[in-house]
Amino acid sequence: MAGISLSNVIKHYVTGKQSVQVIHGISAEIADGEFVVIVGPSGCGKSTLLRMVAGLEEISEGEIAIGARVVNDLEPAERDIAMVFQNYALYPHMSVFDNMAYGLKIRKLPADEIRARVDKAAAILELSPLLDRKPRQLSGGQRQRVAMGRAIVRQPQVFLFDEPLSNLDAKLRAQTRLEIQKLHRELGITSLFVTHDQVEAMTLAQRMIVMNAGVMEQFGTPEEVYRTPASTFVASFIGSPPMNLLRQAPGGRAGEILGVRPEHLDAADTGWKLQVETVELLGAERLVYGRLGTEPVIVRLDANRPAPAPGDTFTVAPRADNLHRFDADSGKRIED
């Protein structure tokens, strides 16, 4: 068992004479047994960061340590890690059993030990009846489980997941999410999980790293990230619909952006007067899209409440203890 320590990790690609920096110095300490999710929009460098931990990308500057060992110059196979790929990357010509056993065979484990480990992993993942099948005879969800099984049998220090759920349909994704959580509870192996889906991030993470444009915007528990977003980027990326960010709100100060989540605006007699543009019913709740002056505002209402109609003026009041303030230039949070 081991934690992961990133210190000032930098990645730049050199193409010809030009050097493009994609990761701008990330430092983070991930505790032993922790489940950390790296989340961010596409192109933010989250997969690159994971691949540097895996050893599939070279580390340009800085240091990555797994346990007490600096792994910068170690081959992926020597890092004592296992990775689940987005497209599963199963060997198409090998049976499920061989797919899981391949890494162990290369490490020259005795055959009965391999058998025992694969059987155990297959039992956990309910793959036992499928061990003789080829990957193409499996459904997407089953392939995904084989990919996880291949990681489990290696009994690594660290699991790395590279968007493993993005090829599954919505229902299966929710189910697999629960399975991964259960697996982590049972095995307690340090896990690093990359996703662009904030729901996955919020539900799976013990702590999450929010990344944007190669920079770590915030590193905290899902609750911290939701309650006290460190920047306007985090505020608008986590939460759906995103936080309203207002430059000219009543009560806001110059040079500051006022943030308030749609669920923290209540219908009131006095307060902000919105011009309602659209109203959407989502079942249990209703989203009201309006404008405060020129700035767009979204309000989330209980569906049982009377709804305003487009064109109405709708008065809402923000809950005072749920207001966030950010610096207008840097986008950073201003603590009260």
85 forms part of the interface with another protein (CB under 8 A) = yes
Q: Which of 20, 27, 93, 277 binds another protein (CB under 8 A)?
A: 93
Which of residues 98 and 266 has its CB atom nearest to another protein in the complex? Answer: 98
d(CA 185, CA 189): 8
DSSP string, 31-51: -TT-EEEEE--TTSSHHHHHH
Q: Which of 50, 83, 204, 205 binds another protein (CB under 8 A)?
A: 83
Which of residues 94 and 307 has its CB atom nearest to another protein in the complex? Answer: 94
Which x/- pattern over 118-137 shows residues binding another protein (rule: CB under 8 A)? ------------------x-
Structure tokens at 327: 């610096």
14 forms part of the interface with another protein (CB under 8 A) = no
CB of 93 to another protein, least distance (A): 4
54 forms part of the interface with another protein (CB under 8 A) = yes
d(CA 133, CA 97): 8
Q: Which of 77, 178, 187, 303 binds another protein (CB under 8 A)?
A: 77
d(CA 276, CA 289): 6
CB of 170 to another protein, least distance (A): 23
Contacts of 248 (CB under 8 A, 6+ apart): 293, 294, 295
**Residue 7 in 3-state DSSP?**
strand
CB of 309 to another protein, least distance (A): 51
Contacts of 256 (CB under 8 A, 6+ apart): 325, 326, 327, 328, 334
d(CA 162, CA 92): 20
Q: Which of 73, 75, 223, 336 binds another protein (CB under 8 A)?
A: 75
189 forms part of the interface with another protein (CB under 8 A) = no
Which of residues 110 and 129 has its CB atom nearest to another protein in the complex? Answer: 110
Q: Which of 22, 28, 56, 70 binds another protein (CB under 8 A)?
A: 56
Structure tokens at 248: 């000219």
Pairing of strands 35-39, 190-195: parallel
Query: Where does this chain bind another protein (CB under 8 A)?
Result: 54-56, 75-78, 81-83, 85-93, 102-103, 106-107, 136, 150
